[in-house]
Structure 1
Amino acid sequence: MPSQPSPASGTRAHNLARILRLVHEEGAQSRAALTEATGLNRSTIADLVAELVRRGLVEERVPDMPGRVGRPSPVVTASAGVVAIAVNPEVDAIEIAAVGLDRSILVRERLPNEVLPTPEGVAKTIRERVEAWRAGPLAGARIEAVGVAVPGLVRTTDGVVRNAPHLEWTDVPLADLVRSATGSPAFVDNDATLGAIAEHRYGAGRGIDDIVYLNGGASGIGGGLIINGRAVAGAGGYAGEFGQNRPRISADGDRRTGDGVLEAEVSRRLLLDAVGLDAADDETLDAELTSSESPTVADEITRQANVLASALANAVNVLNPTLVVLGGFLATVADLRSEQIAADVGALAMSESVEGLEIRPAALGADRLLIGAAELAFAGLLADPGERT
């Protein structure tokens, strides 16, 4: 996700952005807490909050505190009425949600695909769902922008999907298509990059600044990197494609392809086949794998964990992260084989690189990519609230 230009430090616009980002990322804050966090005086905080209230970006409310004597101090919250439309088009379904500036998910739908979605079809679906929601859960809401998390290589400067092989998209101007269809600003980035950002800000990686994130979805395995607290995407924006690396597989019984890449060996499709499902969302697949007593299912989970650990060991040797976060179906594999994966990574990686290393499943679950897409859509607003009415 490209960084957004911010107002000069110390200016009124900069301080408005500081307050807005604090209540967006940290949740409800009292004026006293905002004063302490920013170092600004109480009268300045009161003036900035009043302006953000006027612009409809935050709300002030008095908390309900039964038994308290006297009038409690009001708290400042980001507005649920300022909304990002978050979208994740996949080969099996299009997920779409409306996410408030307070990070509440106001409405969410998973729309299964009968055939591979086209870029034009995705843009049309977004328009249709938003129009329907405006008559219901988004009545009166203000849509800030649309953020799209795509399983493929994205040129973030203009929202062109360079290559999403499983969707069969090449050089697609997706941001322009969505903007034309909806009339709202639209931004596009790689799904795993956005998942990494979401988990770093709000999930398993909160407070940790060096993270490798792997996302397991219907299109395969992608990755995102957080280095020194910042998302790193590489020169062209295409870093983190762990799924295209070839893992070291020492046991012939663990190999499913002749010389396959990671996402061919560690595969959601193979797990679905093992439990006898044609398709399923992440929660359903997780439940089936977790409850299964089949030796075939257990063997497939163990095999995938073996191969995954070899790929993680390579990432740990190269990047020396504090934390590895696994999302999607990889989170289920990590949950079910946590000790095995940790032991294998410890055995395969350099001992110095695994000192203090943790491997965790994504904490945001099925919401991680949608939360990441919403962050993309809100990025400009959070960097500079501007003169909004």
Structure 2
Amino acid sequence: MEQTRPGQRGNNLDDVRRNNLAIVLGLAHVRGRVSRAEVTKMTGLNRSTVGGLVAELVELGLVDEREPGASSHAGRPSAIIVPREDIVAIAVNPEVDAVTIGLVSLSGQVLKRIRYDTARVPTPDEVVNIVGAVVAGMRGELDSSYRTVGVGVAVPGLVRGTDGEVVVAPHLDWHNVPFSAMLGDALGLPVVSANDASAAISAESTFGSGRGARQHIYLNGGASGIGGGIVINNELYRGLSGFAGEFGHTLVNSAGMLCHCGAHGCLETEVRQSALLAAVGLDAAESEQLESVLLAEFARQEGAEPAVLELVTRQVGFLAEALRGTVNIFNPELVILGGFLGLLYAVAPKLLESGVRGRVLMGPREDVRFARAELGLDLLMIGAAQLAFAPLLADPASITKSRLKAS
């Protein structure tokens, strides 16, 4: 979701400056490295204005300027702008079987990821304690080497956008939990929480397979079920309260199992990671091995275990049924599949694509293409960090002066 032209300019010079600083920092953030000449071309700002903005971002400690490499173009090569690697966000993803904590740089690089396995589904207080202990263990490194913007939390549930309250995370059994406030009080840092799939689509749109696609849909499958996100004209569609994208509760089997939402045959009751793990003899702690095992099983072809082939075929069919309505309604150019749904696509890509196209109207089926999420295990860490970076990216100068801090 890259911004390449100046946005709304505001009504005074301060508004213009803040907006233009945000544009330049945003380009460096998304691209990782961008030349002054490229910024001038993409924004329409003149060279002297761009030079002043870059100098201010350097002074604020948000970007560095580096000498360009060799160039085949005539004239003096343009300096390269890169985001500072010591500007970081803490990323958190609570799940039914673990809490994962990461450290992510402004360039979108995951510098550290720690998975803390839990013996049972963690309570909100337990997650706060786990995150607090991990951050305390990193305290020396954070204080000496980094400036921490804040904390982003990717929650497998419905999160109200206005205050970060977890309205319901059914698989975690969390209800009306003011989690952002709880974690913020414990860490002394600003905390932003959102649905995990919404956070993930932000990461994929910025750094992954969604780059360049203006209209795309993302579906993610994890231990806690299936969620998703919708990007329309490069903007994440959140719905009135931030709850949009609950594709896991699409009806795919009218004779299916009872879902926790009260309906029967929802996508996330019929397409489950736990069933795939059980079919190949893995437990939840071995979920990272699932892809290699399934790919090996499918590579055997005639020697493959029939029950495994049947289960994958059935789950792919239900996923195709869910995508039928999604593609017909939204007419996306791209459907991105992440988590274990990306794994299903990797194992049986032709089966899924033909299953969707065979169910979708002629127009939308000609437009849509499919891709697996590119960011892998880093996806939710980067997505959660994007939540924390958002205020800084929107107003670099004021956030730096008032909230950017050493931990």
Fold similarity call, TM over 0.5: yes
Corresponding residue number in structure 1 for 2:390:
379
Q: Tell me how far 1:136 sits from its aligned partner.
A: 3.4
1:306 equivalenced with 2:332 (yes/no): no
* Unmatched runs of 5 consecutive residues or more in structure 1: none
Which amino acid in structure 1 is aligned with residue 145 of structure 2?
Answer: G
Check whether the contact 1:52–1:58 (CA below 8 A) recurs between aligned residues.
yes
Aligned to 2:3: none
Of the three residues 333, 336, 343, the one matched with 2:354 is: 343
C-alpha separation in 1, matches of 2:373 and 2:33: 24
The answer to which structure has the higher helix fraction is 2
In 2, the alpha carbon distance for the partners of 1:346 and 1:103 equals 34
Is the Cα–Cα contact under 8 Å of residues 253 and 266 in structure 2 kept in the other structure?
no
Verify: 1:120 aligned to 2:132, yes or no: no
In structure 2, the partner of 1:187 is: 192
Across the aligned residues of Structure 1 and Structure 2, the Cα RMSD in angstroms comes to 2.5
Aligned 8 A contact 2:159 2:167 in 1: yes
Aligned 8 A contact 1:197 1:372 in 2 = yes
Give, in angstroms, the shift of residue 220 of structure 1: 0.6
Which amino acid in 2 is paired with 1:173? P
1:274 pairs with 2:279: yes
User: What's the offset of the Cα at 1:290?
Assistant: 1.5
Aligned to 1:208, what secondary structure does the other structure show?
coil
1:158 paired with 2:163, answer yes
Deviates more, 1:77-86 or 1:197-206: 197-206
The answer for unaligned runs of 5 or more in structure 2 is 1-6, 298-303, 402-407
Structure 2 counterparts to residues 224-239 of structure 1, below 5 A: 224-239=229-244
Q: C-alpha displacement at 1:67, in angstroms?
A: 12
CA distance in 2, matches of 1:70, 1:140: 38
Q: 2:363 aligned with 1:352, yes or no?
A: yes
2:88 corresponds in structure 1 to 83
> How far apart are the structure 2 equivalents of 1:297 and 1:233?
37
Q: Distance in 2 between matches of 1:227 and 1:378?
A: 21
Indicate the SS of the match to 1:159. Answer: coil
Q: Equivalents in 1 of 2:287, 2:74: separation in Å? A: 48
1:16 paired with 2:18, answer no
Partner of 2:338: 327
Contact 1:95–1:111, Cα closer than 8 Å, also in 2: yes
Q: CA deviation at 1:111?
A: 1.4
Which stretch of the first structure deviates more once superposed, 23-32 or 257-266? 257-266
SS of the equivalent of 1:299 reads: helix
The structural deviation recorded for 1:300 is: 1.3
> Of 196, 201, 213, which aligns to 2:218?
213
Task: Give the 3 Å change call, closer, same or farther, for CA 70–132 of structure 1 in structure 2.
Answer: farther
Corresponding position: 1:47 with 2:58 = no
**Residue aligning to 1:146:** 151
Moved more, 155-164 or 23-32: 23-32
Q: How many residues align?
A: 381
Query: Separation in 1 of the partners of 2:170 and 2:186?
Result: 24
Deviation string, structure 1 residues 193-248 (Cα, Å, up to 9, x no partner) = 11112212221111111111111000011111112221112222212111122204
Aligned equivalents of 2:76 and 2:128: distance in 1? 49
TM-score by length of 2: 0.87
Whole-Å separation in 2 of the counterparts to 1:328 and 1:350: 27
